[in-house]
Amino acid sequence: MVLLPEDRSLPTGFVPETPPQQVVEPKDAATVMLLRDGAAGLEVFLQRRVKGMPFAGGMTVFPGGGVDQRDADTSVSWSGPDAAWWADRFDCSPELARALVCAAVRETFEESGVLLAGPDSSTVVGDTCRYAEARAGLVSRELSLAEFLADEGLVLRADLLRPWADWVTPEREPRRYDTRFFLAAMPVGQRADAVTSEAAEAYWATPEQALEDFRQGRCHLLPPTQVTLGELAECASLSAALAAERVLDKITPRLVRRNNRWHALLPGDPGFEEAK
| Residues sharing a CB contact under 8 Å with residue 158, sequence separation 6 or more, in sequence order | 78, 79, 80, 81, 82, 86, 101
Look up the pTM and report it: 0.92
Q: What pLDDT, on the 0 to 100 scale, is given for residue 4?
A: 47
Q: What pLDDT, on the 0 to 100 scale, is given for residue 3?
A: 46
Instruction: Give Cα 243 distance to the centre of its chain.
Output: 18
| 3-state SS assignment for residue 168 | strand
Burial profile 46-66: b = 16 or more Cβ within 10 angstroms, e = fewer: bbbbeeeeebbbebbbbbbbe
CA distance 135 to 34: 18
Return left, alpha or beta for 197; rule: phi > 0 is left, psi -120 to 50 is alpha, else beta.
alpha
CA distance 13 to 261: 9
* CB-side neighbour CA atoms (13 Å) of 205: 20
211 neighbors 60 (Cβ within 8 angstroms): no
| Residues sharing a CB contact under 8 Å with residue 239, sequence separation 6 or more, in sequence order | none
With 0-12 / 13-18 / 19 or more C-beta atoms within 10 angstroms meaning exposed / middle / buried, residue 43 is: buried
Q: What pLDDT, on the 0 to 100 scale, is given for residue 8?
A: 74
pLDDT tens for the chain, residues 1 to 276: 444 445 677 777 777 777 788 889 999 999 999 999 998 899 999 998 766 655 656 789 999 999 999 999 999 999 999 999 999 999 999 999 999 999 999 999 999 999 999 999 999 999 999 999 999 999 999 999 999 999 999 999 999 999 999 999 998 888 899 999 999 999 999 999 988 777 678 999 999 999 999 988 888 898 899 999 999 999 999 999 999 999 899 999 988 888 788 888 988 888 888 776
Q: What pLDDT, on the 0 to 100 scale, is given for residue 220?
A: 87
Q: What pLDDT, on the 0 to 100 scale, is given for residue 107?
A: 96
Distances (CA, A) of 86 to 36, 58, 99: 23, 31, 10
